[in-house]
Amino acid sequence: MKKIVMTGGGTAGHVTPNIALMPALRSEGYEISYIGSYEGIEKGLIEAQKVPYYGISSGKLRRYFDVKNFSDPFKVIKGYYQSIRLLKKIKPDVVFSKGGFVSVPVVLAAKHCKIPAIIHESDITPGLANKLAIPSATKVCCNFPETMKYLPEGKAVLTGSPIRQE
């Protein structure tokens, strides 16, 4: 059986497209696992889909002053090492990321473990988390032709947005 690890979180916008893909992935024979933050919105949404969920430590890169800016980089580093351990345990064939800061350590860990990583960027301009993760990705899918100019040549694929059938 093929295995996929999905990641993304922080907002439902990073999670619901992953949920929309799950029926098609299951019908293609994929065993799905999800890596997200310990208590983010993604946890409840994914567990409701009966998908194995693994929480990791994650931080946020704020573009304003906050005391947490001093501790969050260490949380991201911890999340990176947790992701490496999880990926070695799960042994997925591919990692699929929808973005959000929790996805950064997962995509970086996938590159470290030599697992292909695919990112999906929903916006016209890539968000900060995806900008950080794109160099470690194998491919970057996007919704809009205008987004292609912001993505590395040879990595970008125009796919549109995953939507649910119901």
* 145 contact partners, CB below 8 Å, separation of at least 6: 158
pTM: 0.94
Structure tokens at 25: 């992935």
Decide if pLDDT at 166 tops 70.
no
pLDDT, tens digit (0-9, with 9 covering 90-100), for 96-121: 999 999 999 999 999 999 999 999 99
Q: Whole-angstrom Cα distance, residue 22 to residue 26?
A: 6
With beta carbons less than 8 A apart as the criterion, state whether 103 and 79 touch. no
Delimit the domains of the chain by residue range. Answer: 2-158
User: Any idea which residue has 């994929």 for tokens?
Assistant: 30
Please report which confidence band the pLDDT of residue 80 belongs to, taking 50, 70 and 90 as the band edges. very high
Class of domain 2-158: alpha beta
